[in-house]
Amino acid sequence: MKILLVDDETELSDPLSRILLQEGYQVDVANNGAAGMNLALQNQYDLLILDWMLPHHSGIEICRSVRSHFLATPVLFLTAKDTVDDRVDGLDAGADDYLVKPFELRELLARVRALLRRSTLEMPNSDRLKVADLELDPDNQVVYRQGKAIDLSEKEIQLLTYFMEHPERLLTHEEIYRYLWQADEQPSSNVLAALVRLLRRKIEIKHETQLIHTVYGKGYRFGIN
Amino acid sequence: MKILLVDDETELSDPLSRILLQEGYQVDVANNGAAGMNLALQNQYDLLILDWMLPHHSGIEICRSVRSHFLATPVLFLTAKDTVDDRVDGLDAGADDYLVKPFELRELLARVRALLRRSTLEMPNSDRLKVADLELDPDNQVVYRQGKAIDLSEKEIQLLTYFMEHPERLLTHEEIYRYLWQADEQPSSNVLAALVRLLRRKIEIKHETQLIHTVYGKGYRFGIN
DNA sequence: CATCCACCAAGAGAATTTTCATGAGATTGT
DNA sequence: ACAATCTCATGAAAATTCTCTTGGTGGATG
């Protein structure tokens, strides 16, 4: 379970991150909005804990931005702002929960558990993704096909991960671009096609069953059939 | 969006259910635990709003029971119990959110929106159309016939979708043309015949049962027989 | 410095959609 | 029943759109 904590008050984020670590979570910390935004968009967190008031980008901006990139990561706001209007604004910006400082640590941890429980409930996937005779070990950046290990580059792993997390589904170019490159995109270049080619070269050449299917004019579909 | 509200205080549940209705939700109300439990297990709700203290079964029991039946329905606790321990217990029993009475209506509605937003986000559009041994997945631009996936092009999908949405019915050329091509660009030749051929080639050749029947001089009919 | 990787761009190549030519089958009137 | 006429199926090719391949550049890494 990977958590991103974005808060500029180190008096709070330091001990909090330590406690979350003790609870067994992986924790990344950012202490300004810009750093938080980048981390949130570039990594796949299971939960974002955001402060509202932040230098450079507010928590709400991060939340909106994450949501607009189709990431369903749960978001917990952690803030001193405590009018009902603030809460409504935060929740309607896409937050899943809202906790007012100062808060009791136990309640925070319970809410964190509640939010994370949901994502594991709905994704009972083990961290090793398997499709057909392909097995991806994202932590160690390796895929096995027919038992043999295949080394992949960073971008290749990212793409394959995205594919394997959504098998048998049409993934549009736009969705893939958004997942792999954080900034917005215009198909001004061919990166994706090129990347797909590299991945195919490693994954499916010499193994007759095709796994990456191109859907003309739309995107790609990954899976058997 | 279907909501179950379980609360024994009708002074609260009556106006609340009315407000939720006004907001456009379908609402069922139970005013004791047993009734709530039955409704929760027998129907598919998108959200449960539970009071903690209830005659017959507590909200926590309902929550545990729902969870043990592998229903991932979000649960919002609504209660007067307001120690941190209570909150932690509620959340750890499987609740997704916890709101203390008395609460502000706007905040409740915002939290309801937040919880429902999540379930629509993660719901893949599964309006799959089935006719005979054909199953169409328009979102992913695939049809399965006898379990095997067949890739279709954009126009083929559009035509097949139209067919499968109106099985066993005569669809005139004009109707089909209107559906597939905008009014401004009316193709002048026999595109439709050509397209039908392409579709037949993929769908029914090699599978003896004919699905696309031509109605001479009128149009086509899709279905068995 | 050598290597690996991400990115770019352009021509080759492939898939899709439309059009055309043609023949087979259906329909109608006589 | 027969011919004239209309409609559809079919294969092939043109037009269009999109993808793949390739070679190259620059930056980061070791």
Q: Is the pLDDT of residue A141 over 90?
A: no
CA distances to A114, A122, A150, A224, B173 from A147, in Å: 37, 28, 9, 18, 54
Contact status, residue B80 vs residue B54, Cβ threshold 8 Å = no
Of residues B66 and A196, more confidence is placed in: A196
- Predicted pLDDT at A121: 60
Between helix B59-68 and helix B84-92 the angle, nearest 10°, is 30
Q: What is the mean pLDDT of residues B51-64?
A: 82
The radius of gyration computed from the CA coordinates of chain A, to the nearest angstrom, equals 19
- Predicted pLDDT at A54: 81
Q: Which of A9, A70, A71, A75 is nearest to A48 (CA)?
A: A75
Q: What is the dihedral of CA B13, B19, B25, B30, to 10 degrees?
A: 10
End-to-end alpha-carbon separation of chain B, Å?
A: 39
Chain A residues bordering chain B (beta-carbon distance below 8 Å): 72, 74, 84-85, 87-88, 91-92, 94-97, 104, 106-107, 109-111, 113-115, 117-118, 121-122, 168-170, 213, 215-218, 221, 225
Q: Is the pLDDT of residue A187 over 60?
A: no
Contact status, residue A38 vs residue A80, Cβ threshold 8 Å = no
- Predicted pLDDT at B15: 93
Q: Which amino acid is at A58?
A: S
Q: What is the mean pLDDT of residues A100-116?
A: 91
Q: Which residue of A has its CA nearest to B143?
A: A225
CA of A195 to C1' of C8 (A): 12
* Interface with B, mutate which of A215, A220, A222 (most B CBs under 10 A): A215
Q: Is the pLDDT of residue B212 over 80?
A: yes
**DSSP code of B124?**
-
- Helix (H) or strand (E) holding A5, with range, is strand A2-6
Instruction: Compare CB distances from A88 to B92, B107, B118 and report the shortest one's residue.
Output: B107
- Predicted pLDDT at A190: 84
Cis omega (within 30 of 0) on the bond before B167? no
How many whole angstroms separate alpha carbon A204 and alpha carbon A201? 6
Using C1' positions and the CA of A217, the closest nucleotide is D18
Structure tokens at A211: 């796994």
Q: Which of B11, B2, B65 is nearest to B33 (CA)?
A: B65
Q: What is the mean pLDDT of residues B45-62?
A: 85
Q: What is the mean pLDDT of residues A71-99?
A: 87
Using C1' positions and the CA of A196, the closest nucleotide is D20
pLDDT in tens, B121-157: 666 666 788 888 899 988 888 899 888 888 899 999 9
- Predicted pLDDT at B162: 93
Chain B residues bordering chain A (beta-carbon distance below 8 Å): 72, 74, 84-85, 87-88, 91-92, 94-97, 104, 106-107, 109-111, 113-115, 117-118, 121-122, 124, 139-142, 144, 148-149, 151, 153-154
Q: Is the pLDDT of residue A70 over 80?
A: no
- Predicted pLDDT at B197: 94
pLDDT in tens, B6-24: 998 899 899 999 999 999 9
Q: What is the mean pLDDT of residues A168-187?
A: 76
| Nucleotides in D strand less than 7 A from protein CB | 6-12, 17-23
Q: Which amino acid is at A7?
A: D
Lowest mean pLDDT among A39-48, A78-87, A166-175, B183-192: B183-192
- Predicted pLDDT at B149: 86
Q: Is the pLDDT of residue A33 over 90?
A: no
**DSSP code of A205?**
T
Q: Which domains are assigned to chain B?
A: 2-122 (3.40.50.2300), 129-222 (1.10.10.10)
- Predicted pLDDT at A188: 65
> Strands B134-137 and B142-145: what pairing?
antiparallel
- Residue ranges of alpha helices (H) inside chain A are 10-22, 33-42, 59-68, 84-92, 105-122, 154-165, 173-180, 191-203
pLDDT level of residue B198 (50, 70, 90 thresholds): very high
Q: Is the pLDDT of residue B160 over 90?
A: yes
How many whole angstroms separate alpha carbon A225 and alpha carbon B151? 9
Report the share of chain B in percent with pLDDT over 70: 93
Q: Which residue of A has its CA nearest to B89?
A: A110
Q: Which residue has the tokens 């978001």?
A: A75
Enumerate residues near strand D (beta carbon within 7 A). Answer: A 173, 190, 193-194, 196-197, 200, 214, 216-219; B 173, 190, 193-194, 196-197, 200, 214-219
- Predicted pLDDT at A206: 67
Instruction: Compare CB distances from B88 to A95, A110, A168 and report the shortest one's residue.
Output: A110
Q: What is the mean pLDDT of residues B55-61?
A: 79
Structure tokens at A208: 């007759």
Enumerate residues near strand C (beta carbon within 7 A). Answer: A 151, 153-156, 181, 188-191, 193-194, 216-217; B 151, 153-156, 181, 187-191, 194-195, 198, 216-217
pLDDT in tens, B90-111: 898 889 998 988 889 999 999 9
**DSSP code of B168?**
T
**Is B148 in Cβ contact with A225 (below 8 Å)?**
yes
- Predicted pLDDT at A18: 94
